[in-house]
């Protein structure tokens, strides 16, 4: 009899544990929204500032030559041409990771849904793998860059969550956020950020910020991973540090690896755990950038690179928008210097 009672108690305990574990698992699934077909590829093709007449071929060529990740945005004004390149490649949709972004004037619910529908249609992809809030800044629709004081980051995030529930995108994330902005989203999210895309490169390493994202389980996508090679940067803050392709430290490191400077810079970005999305319209450079995946560094080499951080931010439109960005990060916005682009 005692033995039978013991079995009954054990059964009840087991069932209770299963229920509790299932409940915790279900909650975790809701909080992280991990309906993955695989993680985001570590190397992608960026399309910011890509010429409308050239981006379709660049995308097609990249996809036909080993790339499986395209980074786009509505504000780049070339998603329709990017979509032509995706279609021309003939690569199955399920084998391509496609990211797009919600522009500042589309933060309200109706505008956001229309914006993602347009991106999906222009890209010709049926759905997105990742949709990012492009900046933690809302503009009043139809009124240029006038700030929308009535729409908060949290309000926009709730709208983004609905876009996942409506199957427009598999994942959502943020871009160009300060740490406090990310934390504000984490405090309330039901569908939480999959990734954060922000400027980081050897001249703006932000290693503590990168490490913090790893701790909270958010992927880091590094835009402008080749530092000040972007022509937009060269006449602004990029001129303060000199072109990275001529930096003796990087040219010597590249020579030691029998690689190009672009390859070693991108390889560093990959080895530190970030996703890199260099933009190029050149077949030669698209091929060259892919070679970065073959370059590796020793611990001592990574430590030497860490000492080359110049803490110089190239992209900061805060002045023109009348808002201070990156307040708790290296080189935060000021209102007495040059602004940059998107």
Would the pLDDT of 17 be above 90?
no
Q: Which two tokens stand for residue 108?
A: 């309200």
326 compared with 230, residue with greater pLDDT? 326
Catalytic residue, candidates 61, 76, 223, 233: 76
Q: Taking a C-beta distance cutoff of 8 angstroms, is the pair 97, 130 a contact?
A: yes
Q: What are the pLDDT digits (tens) for 173-196?
A: 999 999 999 999 999 999 999 999
- Given this model, what pLDDT does residue 237 score? 67
In angstroms, rounded to a whole number, what is the distance separating the alpha carbons of residues 104 and 320? 14
Question: Which CATH architecture is the domain 41-321 placed in?
Answer: Alpha-Beta Barrel (3.20)
Would the pLDDT of 291 be above 70?
yes
Q: What is the mean pLDDT of residues 248-277?
A: 98
250 compared with 233, residue with greater pLDDT? 250
In angstroms, rounded to a whole number, what is the distance separating the alpha carbons of residues 179 and 329? 7
130 compared with 33, residue with greater pLDDT? 130
Would the pLDDT of 22 be above 50?
no
Q: Taking a C-beta distance cutoff of 8 angstroms, is the pair 192, 33 a contact?
A: yes
In angstroms, rounded to a whole number, what is the distance separating the alpha carbons of residues 282 and 62? 10
Q: What are the pLDDT digits (tens) for 41-68?
A: 999 999 998 989 999 999 999 999 999 9
**Alpha carbon of 110 to those of 95, 107, 115, 127: distances in Å?**
30, 8, 9, 18
Enumerate the domain spans of the chain. Answer: 41-321
> Is 76 an active-site residue?
yes
- Given this model, what pLDDT does residue 231 score? 77
At 342, is the pLDDT very low, low, confident or very high (cuts 50, 70, 90)? low
Q: At what angle do helices 283-290 and 261-271 cross, to 10 degrees?
A: 40
- Given this model, what pLDDT does residue 229 score? 87
């Amino acid at each position: 009899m005692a033995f039978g009672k013991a079995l009954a108690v054990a059964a009840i305990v087991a069932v209770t544990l299963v229920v509790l574990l299932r409940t915790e698992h279900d909650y975790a699934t809701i909080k992280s929204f991990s309906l993955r077909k695989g993680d985001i590829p570590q190397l992608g093709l960026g399309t910011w500032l890509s010429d409308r007449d050239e981006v379709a071929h660049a995308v097609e060529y990249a996809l036909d030559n080993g790339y499986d990740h395209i980074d786009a945005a509505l504000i780049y004004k070339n998603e329709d041409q990017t979509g032509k390149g995706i279609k021309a490649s003939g690569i199955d949709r399920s084998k391509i990771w496609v990211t797009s972004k919600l522009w500042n004037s589309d933060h309200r619910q109706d505008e956001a849904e229309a914006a993602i529908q347009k991106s999906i249609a222009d890209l010709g992809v049926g759905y997105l793998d990742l949709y990012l809030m492009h900046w933690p800044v809302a503009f009043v629709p139809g009124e240029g860059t006038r700030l929308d004081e009535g729409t908060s980051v949290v309000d926009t995030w709730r709208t983004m969550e609905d876009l996942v529930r409506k199957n427009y995108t598999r994942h959502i994330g943020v871009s160009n956020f300060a740490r406090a902005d990310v934390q504000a989203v984490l405090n309330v999210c039901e569908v939480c950020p999959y990734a954060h895309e922000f400027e980081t490169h050897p001249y703006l390493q932000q290693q503590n910020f990168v490490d913090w994202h790893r701790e909270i389980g958010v992927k880091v996508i590094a835009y402008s991973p080749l530092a000040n090679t972007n022509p937009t940067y060269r006449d602004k803050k990029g001129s303060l540090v000199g072109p990275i392709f001529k930096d003796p430290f990087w040219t010597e490191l590249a020579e030691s690896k029998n690689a190009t400077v672009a390859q070693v810079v991108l390889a560093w970005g990959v080895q530190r755990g970030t996703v890199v999305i260099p933009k190029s319209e050149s077949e030669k450079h698209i091929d060259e950038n892919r070679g970065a995946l073959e370059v590796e560094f020793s611990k001592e080499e990574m430590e030497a690179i860490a000492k080359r951080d110049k803490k110089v931010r190239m992209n900061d439109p805060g002045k023109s928008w009348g808002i201070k960005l990156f307040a708790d990060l290296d080189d935060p916005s000021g209102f007495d210097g040059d602004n940059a682009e998107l």
